Amino acid sequence: MWPYPKVLAHRGGGTLAPENTLAGFRTGLQFGYRAAEFDVMLTRDEVPILMHDPKRGRTLPGEGQIAETDWAQLRDLEAGAWLNASFAGERICTLEQGLDFCLEHGIWMNVEIKPGAPEQARRTGELAALAVGRRFTAALEALRDNPAGAQAATLPVLSSFSFEALMAAREAAPDLPRGFLVDVIPADWQAHLEQLQAVALHTSHKNLTPELAGQVKAAGYGLFCYTVNDAARAAQIKEWGVDAFCTDRIDLIAADAW
Ligand code: G3P
Ligand code: MG
């Protein structure tokens, strides 16, 4: 149900590094993390980049929506100093650069497809899935011959709060596993997972109950939680049957905690 790593750094390296940057992945590695969640958004000119906020102002200086800005206007912006002067000079990266880094360093990926504008939902899902799928062609081919092969655990999971984006990802790269993200688990969660042919439900640990966790697991799905920053809470949701989680506090929770 969840052959993947169980403890992931959130947004690359949690809150110890500028989120969704290569510095984040590097920091994760320093703490022994070889699994990460990160967010993918499209620029106006449809370059998939690692980005959480739909607009500049917090992690990138200046103003304006990412969906209305070209990559050329974003690529040279300071992306590290907002967190800590020691990260000054860090830049945002494209999905391609993020994939390069993660593959080179053996970092497993939960790729969250995060459309910056509703009208970009389908295209974000499609382009993210195609980019990821291209990097896993060999593994996907091997799995077609032997579905139980060890490569299954190496495939990234594509996740999204956007049903539309995830459906487009399914159409573009049907063999890549998908996780449907919800803040609060809705009554019709299983119908959504079936439509998406998803392998897992991803949800906030804050709104999870042991009953709901039991229902998801009894239905045969993986169950992933965001964002758990406390070791005692992590232990509690493990008892409930949660398979994996991401954390901002890679300094407090060991990568091999589960
Ligand atoms: O993938 C789980 C988590 O990252 C969702 O929340 O806002 O940090 O992308 P957010
Ligand atoms: Mg995310």
pLDDT digits (tens, 9 = 90+) for 149-206: 889 999 999 999 999 999 999 999 999 999 999 999 999 999 999 999 999 999 999 9
Please report, rounded to a whole number, the percentage of residues in the chain having pLDDT higher than 90.
Answer: 98
Q: Domain with 235 in it: what CATH number?
A: 3.20.20.190
Ligand 1 pocket check for 226: Cβ under 6 Å: yes
Ligand 1 pocket check for 19: Cβ under 6 Å: no
pLDDT of residue 7: 98
Assigned domain for 258 exists: no
Under 8 Å between Cβ of 129 and 48: no
- Ligand closest to CA 204: 1
Per-residue confidence band for 12, with pLDDT thresholds at 50, 70 and 90: very high
Instruction: Record the tokens describing residue 137, joined without a space.
Output: 């062609």
Give the mean model confidence (pLDDT) for residues 203-222.
98
Assigned domain for 257 exists: no
Assigned domain for 237 exists: yes
Instruction: Record the tokens describing residue 211, joined without a space.
Output: 């009953």
Assigned domain for 35 exists: yes
Instruction: Record the tokens describing residue 190, joined without a space.
Output: 């299983």
pLDDT of residue 114: 98
Is the pLDDT at 1 greater than 90, yes or no?
no
Under 8 Å between Cβ of 92 and 79: yes
Assigned domain for 108 exists: yes
Q: How many domains does the chain have?
A: 1
Distance in angstroms (rounded) separating the CA atoms of residues 48 and 109: 15
Residues of the domain holding 34: 7-247
- Helix H or strand E segment including 112: strand 108-113
Tally of CA atoms within 13 A in the half-sphere of 253 that contains its CB: 27
By annotation, the residues acting in catalysis are 10, 52
